[in-house]
Amino acid sequence: MLEGLVQNDFPLTLQHILGRMRSVYGDSEVVTLTDDGPQRAAYSDVAKRVDKLAHALAGLGIGESDRVATFAWNTQRHLEIYLAAPCMGAVLHTLNIRLFADQLTYIANHAEDKIIFVDDSLVPLLEKVAPTFETVETYVVMGDGDAGSLPGKILRYEELLAEQTDEPFEWPELEEKQAAGLCYTSGTTGNPKGVLYSHKSNVLHSFGACTADAMGLSSSDRMLPIVPMFHANAWGIPYAAGLTGCSLIMPNKFMQAEPLAKAIEAEKVTISAAVPTIWADLLKYADENSPDLSSVDRVICGGAAVPLSLMQAWEEKHGLRIIQAWGMTETSPLGSVARPPAGAEGDEHWDFRNKAGRINPLVEARIVGDDGSEQPWDGETTGELQVRGPWIARAYYNDPSGDDKFDEGWLRTGDIAAIDSHGFIRISDRTKDVIKSGGEWISSVDLEGELMAHPCVEEAAVIAKPDEKWTERPLACVVIKEGEEVSTADLASHLKERVAKWWVPDEFAFIDEVPKTSVGKFDKKVLRKRLEDGELEKTPVEEPAASSWG
């Protein structure tokens, strides 16, 4: 075999990204929103603080492969931990601040966290569960707020850094396959599962995220990552920004529509990323207050299906372009991005925008039928979406109970999907959410999107309800906009113009709010439990839609 004469042994580690932030993009900045106004730091200064933090971690006995946990908002300090821990050979473990206490206990103990960095505003949350952590020795509080009654050794972040030498840290030589980060799934069934990212997978994912057909980050961008840094590495944005010199506007605890809109306006944000519920709230604020959002070129939106009506409303009213993306914690998470092919216009353009997106470079995908056979890419034939690639998990961390999610290198996503000849994925449902009525599938995702296109509907989640005749029928759980009124007949009529008649629910449940998971997705298991317990008041359609079943 004739080998190429390039440096195939050059390690792809996060140290390379830190080095670029220190030198090539030293003038780019991190802006963190605070109670006292925005705090700014150049990338070069952030890199110096990363050196100090690495000295501090080494002094605290943190060594190779030790888990360094965070319980924090999106801030400059959190970014410094993102860089220092993995670059010194430790493993960054981001704890989800929105998980239930028993889930946090399981995750911290399963990961065997040794130290936790916690924002002072989150101490009251953490101190309730901290006594159940079996391996944590030290807590580092970020900010001047009360440290509460945290057990073990308690340190202050800024005091810790101030005690360190100004000498650069001697970064060790790392293998690119070494573990760099650990994120856990939100645990919709059973215990959360850990996904262990390597240095190489993080670096390659950063390159993939920065391609023009994905996020397209560059040194001229100013990114507002609203997606939390505890959710799949904030979709890889911190590392992708460091790779390209994109400035970061960190929202901290200010996650409400008004401060986010004001930050976009003041900091001239060019790109942002968040789940659909955030952009639905921001749309209401923008409609009522008309902030100047003209600097924004694009918004990456994912974590759940993005309603077409939301994308169109933003574009028509405010000229802001929302780009749908798909991924999972297991995919680091970027798997596909919905940028239409050249020449797609009108309805065809929006049809592409309404899909989960085109498969990213270095990601391979297939559709597998119930019988295990691979299905054609014809845009119509559906089955389970399976993916593989250099930043996609091949197993869960220290948890064989999840082995059934992997098939000889392929990740079984649990999404029911089709792929067309352009490589665009159309996800019709989750395997656990699809409604099987009379032997045929009904897509809860499609029904939700069409319901949320109704001008009086704020949110909609569709679940299956038992039916003697058809086995299952859809039950639409609907949140009506404040000050609006709408009947079940109105909603059924609206749907009949947009979906197959037999898809139209024969009953609706009007609720105050759709429950959300820790990462902002609709939590349908809560609605299913309410239905099972008789807590959902079902209102029939005056002319039952089920009578039109074919």
Query: What residues make up the domain containing 533?
Result: 433-548
- 342 within some domain: yes
Query: What is the structure's pLDDT at 223?
Result: 98
Indicate the pLDDT class of residue 470, thresholds 50, 70 and 90: confident
Among the residues of 88-169, which ranges form H helices?
101-111, 123-129, 157-162
Query: What is the structure's pLDDT at 187?
Result: 55
Query: What is the structure's pLDDT at 206?
Result: 98
Indicate the pLDDT class of residue 98, thresholds 50, 70 and 90: confident
DSSP state at residue 329: G
* Contacts for 19 with CB less than 8 Å, ≥ 6 apart: none
Mean pLDDT over residues 244-267, rounded?
Answer: 98
Mean pLDDT over residues 108-113, rounded?
Answer: 98
Residue 262, φ and ψ in degrees, nearest 5:
-65, -35
User: Does residue 54 surpass a pLDDT of 80?
Assistant: yes
User: Does residue 254 surpass a pLDDT of 80?
Assistant: yes
User: Does residue 550 surpass a pLDDT of 50?
Assistant: no
Is residue 314 domain-shared with residue 384, that is, in the same domain?
no
Query: What is the structure's pLDDT at 355?
Result: 96
Query: What is the structure's pLDDT at 543?
Result: 59
Q: Which CATH number fits the domain that encloses residue 360?
A: 2.30.38.10
Q: Which CATH number fits the domain that encloses residue 487?
A: 3.30.300.30
Among 247, 269, 284, the domain-final residue is: 247
Among 323, 351, 370, the domain-final residue is: 323
Query: What is the structure's pLDDT at 472?
Result: 87
Query: What is the structure's pLDDT at 549?
Result: 34
Residues known to be catalytic: 185, 330, 436, 441
User: How are beta strands 322-327 and 298-301 bridged, if at all?
Assistant: parallel
Query: What is the structure's pLDDT at 184?
Result: 95
- 5 within some domain: no
Is residue 37 domain-shared with residue 176, that is, in the same domain?
yes
Average pLDDT score over the chain? 93
Is residue 317 domain-shared with residue 379, that is, in the same domain?
no
Residue 218 to residue 249: CA distance in whole angstroms: 14
Among 376, 406, 427, the domain-final residue is: 427
Residue 182 near residue 196, CB atoms below 8 Å: yes
User: How are beta strands 138-142 and 153-156 bridged, if at all?
Assistant: parallel
Query: What is the structure's pLDDT at 289?
Result: 97
- 1 within some domain: no
Residue 13 to residue 123: CA distance in whole angstroms: 32
Residue 187 near residue 99, CB atoms below 8 Å: yes
Ranges 191-200, 440-449, 505-514: which has the least confidence: 440-449
User: Does residue 545 surpass a pLDDT of 70?
Assistant: no
User: Does residue 33 surpass a pLDDT of 80?
Assistant: yes
- Name the pTM for this structure: 0.86
Question: Strand, helix or coil at 18?
Answer: helix
pLDDT, tens digit, 9 for 90 and up, residues 10-25:
999 999 999 999 999 9
Mean pLDDT over residues 118-126, rounded?
Answer: 97
pLDDT, tens digit, 9 for 90 and up, residues 167-195:
999 999 999 999 999 999 875 557 899 99
User: Does residue 269 surpass a pLDDT of 50?
Assistant: yes
Is residue 184 domain-shared with residue 45, that is, in the same domain?
yes
pLDDT, tens digit, 9 for 90 and up, residues 471-488:
889 999 999 999 999 999
Query: What is the structure's pLDDT at 39?
Result: 98
Rounded to the nearest angstrom, the gap between the alpha carbon of residue 94 and the centroid of all alpha carbons in its chain is: 13
Orientation angle between helical segments 346-353 and 308-318, nearest 10 degrees: 120
